[in-house]
Amino acid sequence: MSESKPYNWLYSVLIAVDQLGNALAGGYADSTISARVGYNVQNSKALTRNYWRFLQWVIDFIFLPLDGPNHCHQAFRNGNKNHYRDGSDLMRFILSALILINAIPIAITARTVALFRA
């Protein structure tokens, strides 16, 4: 088995978990949380735009060592451009909780992976 196959499998699993989190928070199951945030930063109503900008700042910081700046914008540009939702207040609360609860473990993991890549 080549080295890239386990990595490809793990990457696919992580994307599926991300899409599940997005669906649990009222988004489409075909989209990742990062892409949803990237879309809504540009297309949300003025009332919720700062909310989406805050989530973008958190996610972009988490993935900075792996993807560089603008992770959410890149995820939106590279993803499914037709299926994004803002969501109700409850769904935005769930989305925020998912992101903030997982932010520290994911940030530590991302920085550890980045160290081994260097």
Domain ranges of the chain: 4-117
Can you list the pairs that 73-79 forms with residues at least 24 positions away whose Cβ atoms lie under 8 Å? Answer: 73/38, 73/41, 74/38, 75/32, 75/34, 75/35, 75/37, 75/38, 76/34, 76/35, 76/36, 76/37, 76/38, 76/39, 76/42, 77/38, 78/35, 79/31, 79/32, 79/35
Instruction: Give the pLDDT band of residue 8 (cuts 50, 70, 90).
Output: confident
CA 76/CA 43 separation, integer angstroms: 12
pLDDT at position 5 is 67
Percent of the chain scoring above 90 in pLDDT: 73
